[in-house]
Amino acid sequence: MHNSYVVAKFAAFQETGTAATERIAGTYTYTLIVTPNGVGAPGTAQTTDITITIAALATSSLVASAATSSAFISTATGATSDVAVSALATASNTPRGYIRVTLLNAASGTDARESVTITTTIGQVGTTENRGRSVVLKYTGATDYNIYSDGTAGTGTITISTPSVTFATKSVTFYAVAPSTLVASVATPNLRVGSNADSVRVVAKDANGVDWSGTLYIYASAAADAAIAGAVRATAAADATACTWSAASAIHSCAITGAAAGTAKFKVSNYATAALATAAASGAEVTSNEVSVVVNTATAATVKLEFDKATYAPGERARIYVTPLDSTGKAIAVSTNANLLASGGISTAQALTFAGSTTTAESLTAVSITTKANSSSTTGARAGSMEYTVYMPVSGGTVTISATGGTSLPLAGRVAVTASATVTDSGAAALAAVNALATTVASLKTLITTLTNLVLKIQKKVKA
């Protein structure tokens, strides 16, 4: 037999398996050993390494994506948006709030598998088994991690991160057992007989200046005041009315029940009764400044129309106020007047655009008017009035609206009322600006000429 060379090719395969048994994505290294067999005895074994890489499917990735993952703080579990957490600082094993963490991969359909690190500057975070100021926690799907108070009052910053994602920081507030200051103000200028929500607002702070969101109580200062509205605070019975805390506005809102026309004085305390205040189980009593509220039983005698400004730019937003007035021309308590305006409501010859409806006519033709109890800088609401939001015409000129008092008013009040405002002419404004610029240029030209002549005179004197 003659000597000859034989060439052989070998292939190596790796079974990825089914979904239940598939291999983990990664790079695998194998060593191949080939031993040739000749006539008589086997030849020398040859070895070589090969690598096989299994790429991870996007849907199978265990890496969290910032684009699809989320972390929300709230007072309840399962949060889908952030909610302010404000709680008593006293140490407790009951969670004061929760952080809902969801880790998803880039495919946005499968849970990632990464540890979650949560750190807080005040209080504790974690689970019933693992909690502290800074903890590393297991993640096995959308999870609510707890927030605990530990006796420290103040505002804390909470950071949440994983090896792949760092979330925006969250804030938690722990307030002291008792408030330090209570500042009350009247929110509703005219109360009606009966229930009046959000009549008095109170800003409460503890000794650290932190918003105090515990329960406050409002009560009439004396029996004479209680004859007009509210009730005096009894020694044992809880006649004081509990106020409502709003985390969004960081105020306590207090309701008052009106009984008769007049002015009544009120105070706010962190204790519901005088007996509790004397016992001072939760620290010394703190009371607010005294405020006076007015119960107004007057009815509508006339109606007034007005704009919120006298002058507007073309297309600028404007508000129209409809205000029922009493026989002395003053605003009255919140009310609904079925026919405050006569049929047709408010009319105008100008091209106003109404915010929230397709045409001006559909919106301004209402005759039943319900007024607002309180003013708002956000919505434009004005106490005692109903507001319409419109947009002025894009051309300059005077805009006039008109209406006639309806059958909800006495005969003397069923008269025509109007209001006017001016829309500046954009062309005229531009011309005025050009003219002003021309005047300025002319003045500069005169000044330059004067300075030039002065320089020439100085040069002549120097030559001389």
* Cα-based angle 317, 319, 320 (whole degrees, multiple of 5): 140
Give the number of C-alpha atoms closer than 13 A to the C-alpha of residue 298, restricted to the C-beta side. 18
How many Å apart are CA 215 and CA 211, to the nearest integer?
12
Calculated CA dihedral for residues 225, 227, 229, 231, nearest 10 degrees: 80
Task: State the burial class of residue 155 (Cβ atoms within 10 Å of its Cβ: 0-12, 13-18, 19+).
Answer: middle
C-alpha span between 199 and 202 (Å, rounded): 10
**Cα-only R_g, the chain:** 38
At 50, is the pLDDT very low, low, confident or very high (cuts 50, 70, 90)?
Answer: confident
- What is the value of pTM for the model shown? 0.73
Q: How far apart are CA 154 and CA 151, in angstroms?
A: 10
310: CB partners within 8 A, 6+ apart: 421, 422
The sign of the torsion formed by the CA atoms of 310, 314, 317, 323 equals positive
Fold adopted by 181-295: Immunoglobulin-like (2.60.40)
**Where do we find the tokens 């005040």?**
122
What gap in Å lies between CA 10 and CA 165, rounded to an integer?
44
Q: Which of 92-106, 120-134, 308-322, 425-439 has the lowest mean pLDDT?
A: 425-439
Residues with Cβ < 8 Å from 336, sequence gap 6 or more? 368, 369, 370, 371
Cα distances from 68 to residues 108, 118, 435, in angstroms, run 6, 19, 57
Span 198-232, pLDDT tens digits? 999 999 999 999 999 999 999 999 999 999 999 99
| Residue pLDDT, tens place only, 164-196 | 999 999 999 999 999 999 999 999 999 999 999
Q: Which helix (H) or strand (E) holds 146?
A: strand 143-148
Could you give the CA distance from residue 369 to residue 324 in angstroms, rounded to a whole number? Answer: 9
**Tell me: the pLDDT tens digits for 394-403?**
999 999 999 9
State how far the Cα of 402 lies from the Cα of 342, in Å rounded to an integer.
Answer: 11
Q: Which residues 6+ apart lie within 8 Å of 399 measured at CB?
A: 312, 348, 350, 352, 392, 393, 420, 421, 422, 423
Residue 456, judged by CB atoms within 10 A of its CB (0-12, 13-18, 19+), counts as: exposed
The pLDDT value given to residue 48: 83
Can you name the CATH fold of 70-175? Immunoglobulin-like (2.60.40)
Query: Do 303 and 320 form a contact (C-beta atoms < 8 A)?
Result: no
With a CB cutoff of 8 Å and minimum separation 6, the contacts of 400 are: 348, 349, 350, 418, 419, 420
Q: Is 202 left (phi over 0), alpha (psi -120 to 50) or beta?
A: beta
Q: Which residues pair with 146 in a beta bridge?
A: 98, 126
Distance CA(338)–CA(296), nearest Å, equals 19
Nearest residue to 120 (alpha-carbon basis) of 89, 176, 158: 158
Contact 335, 373 (CB under 8 A): no
- Going by C-alpha positions, the residue among 319, 328, 298, 317 that lies closest to residue 385 is 319
Same fold, 70-175 and 181-295: yes
CATH 2.60.40.10 holds for 302-424: yes
pLDDT digits (tens, 9 = 90+) for 287-319: 999 999 999 999 999 999 999 999 999 999 999
**Residue-wise pLDDT tens digits, 52-92:** 877 766 777 889 999 999 999 999 999 999 999 999 999 99
Question: What residue spans define the domains of the chain?
Answer: 70-175, 181-295, 302-424, 435-464
